[in-house]
Structure 1
Amino acid sequence: MPAQPLRIASVNVNGVRAAFRKGMGDWLAARDVDILALQEVRASTDDLVGLLGDEWDVLHDPATAKGRAGVALASRHRASIHRVELGPADFDSAGRWLEADYEVGGKVITVVSTYVHSGEVDTPKQVEKYKFLDAMLERLPQLAAHSEYAVIMGDLNVGHRTLDIKNWKGNVKRAGFLPEERAYFDRFLGAEGEPGYNDGAGLGWIDVGRRHAGEVPGPYTWWSQRGKAFDTDTGWRIDYHLATPQLAATVQNYVVDRAAAYDERWSDHAPVVVDYAI
């Protein structure tokens, strides 16, 4: 019989304690996930371990400011090594970048959970966002050189293309869809309409969600809590799996676990779940 694929999921939990109170534990128990990347944990490591249970090997990088940001990786496999540094020594990336190596099926899989700043036009928040994206530009080639099987997952807080935001025309001057932000993704993946886009252009990374879904709107991963955004599917696709070409070639399935109804949500983001045939 063929081996079971490696199931890797990522989700911005918008506070893991609140997410578990609202039903995240039921989702996790039913999804048979092997490696789980979390963003906006906003809790202590003890809290996180207590919620997930002893069957998970948990890595957690909290933010410098208590109760803010925080990224984690939980796995059925124990990580052989993990790293949290990103960018220059004077750049505070705490709670926003966590990478780990896992040995699966005789191969080393490098997995990153990241939470890019949301930003705000003409404020220091946007400056910090660009610093973070600059650091990613430097780190991505290093990761690809480190492991041919690597995936960067999380809330990247940028919609790369007009297909990624339902109301893109109303957001071209807002953080999350600024031309300057989207240009970073052109460098990661290649530019829309250019040769090799999402197939080796740019730094060579693959947007697994776009490759799997094709040239269609969404599927969106985040919806504002205000108004009827969720009910009308007026969302943004800002949660990604960016994989090396070798790992992207193994993808068997890609799913956004959108809740059936607004009152069944346990975060304002939906989990992105991908099966890799490792």
Structure 2
Amino acid sequence: MTIATANVNGIRAAVRRGFAGWLAARNPDVLCLQEVRAGESDIPAGTCDGYHLAYHEGSQKGRAGVAVLTRTAPEAVRVGFGSAEFDTQGRYIEVDLPGPTPGDPAGRLTVASLYLPKGAASGEILDSKLRFCKQLAEHVRSRSAEAEATGGAYLVAGDFNIAPTQDDLKAWKTNLRSPGFLPVEREWFADLLAPPGGEGADSGTAPAVVDVLRRLHPDRPGPYTWWSWRGRQFDNDAGWRIDLHLASPSLAATAMVGGVDREASYEARVSDHSPVWVDYGWASS
């Protein structure tokens, strides 16, 4: 099963720039989208042909919007992660894909699309992002633990707007005070991936979720997923790795290969993000 995630930075603009060509070539079984920035009726005709569309436009018109496209019809669709503050913003949606026995959690795959706020270096905007992160982490841990306990799987994929480590952005030394690489953000991310119980936990305890691309590409910079439109950052591969797959341990263990579909040139870019894909050894019904 190929699962991909792409921040399209506006689906209508992405389609004009060649999104359909990428989709046909990669042909994922599941696709998570972020920053769709359109009403469902405004998504260009034919964009989602062959897929079931689960979409959360949100209340922030033209600013957010997350979707999950699936070849198999989902058993359930849920918007948000139980937050009265954030669930209306169009930043999180999850679907359940059935396992071998419909209605049975064994073999069920839950896939979520996430667009985490960009934040700021300080102040209320940063505080809001950290509240979002705290509430999201509780949900992710709960979903992953539930999947592990029932023989299912959980994946949250999307734009996390956080580069977890120095290996996840090229110019890390000049971005130590930049949103997306603040110490408090990286600490949150490390804690999310830590085994239950924190630093004192048994070293053999599985983490809550696994950063799949980092597992597949250890001990190397990148692969980067976002580059500014400005300057020559794309040409020089001066990017950030902020588009991620975080999977429950059993699902992560089935990941075979994955990467970033970085366009061949600046002119060929569909978005300021490039899609991230992983082939998992997990089959839906």
TM-score norm. by structure 2 comes to 0.89
1:218 is displaced (CA, Å) by 0.4
1:212 to 209, 216, 225: 216
Residue 3 of structure 1 is matched in structure 2 by none
Alignment of 1:223-234 (within 5 A): 223-234=227-238
| Sequence identity percentage | 43
Matched, 1:260 2:264: yes
Contact kept? 2:12, 2:44, Cα under 8 Å: no
Contact kept? 2:98, 2:109, Cα under 8 Å: yes
3-state DSSP of counterpart to 1:121: coil
> Deviations 1:33-74 (Å, cap 9, x if unpaired)?
100000000011123373424421001101212111110011
Alignment of 1:97-246 (within 5 A): 97-104=92-99, 107-148=107-148, 149-190=153-194, 203-246=207-250
TM-score norm. by structure 1 comes to 0.91
Q: 1:36, 1:252 → 2: CA distance? A: 18
Amino acid at match of 2:172: W
Amino acid at match of 1:73: V
Contact kept? 2:145, 2:208, Cα under 8 Å: no
1:87 is displaced (CA, Å) by 4.2
3-state DSSP of counterpart to 2:96: strand
Contact kept? 1:150, 1:243, Cα under 8 Å: yes
CA distance change for structure 1 residues 91 and 44 in 2, over 3 Å: closer, same or farther?
A: closer
> Deviations 1:119-150 (Å, cap 9, x if unpaired)?
11224321221111011121022101332311
Residue 57 of structure 1 is matched in structure 2 by 52
1:77 to 72, 76, 81: 72
Amino acid at match of 2:141: P
Residue 104 of structure 2 is matched in structure 1 by none
Q: 2:89, 2:167 → 1: CA distance? A: 31
1:204 is displaced (CA, Å) by 2.2
Structure 1: state its 5+ residue gaps: 1-5
CA distance change for structure 1 residues 128 and 50 in 2, over 3 Å: closer, same or farther?
A: farther
Contact kept? 1:190, 1:196, Cα under 8 Å: no
CA distance change for structure 1 residues 208 and 174 in 2, over 3 Å: closer, same or farther?
A: same
Amino acid at match of 2:180: G
The count of corresponding residues between Structure 1 and Structure 2 is 270
Residue 35 of structure 1 is matched in structure 2 by 30
Quote the RMSD (CA, aligned, Å): 2.2
CA distance change for structure 1 residues 164 and 184 in 2, over 3 Å: closer, same or farther?
A: same
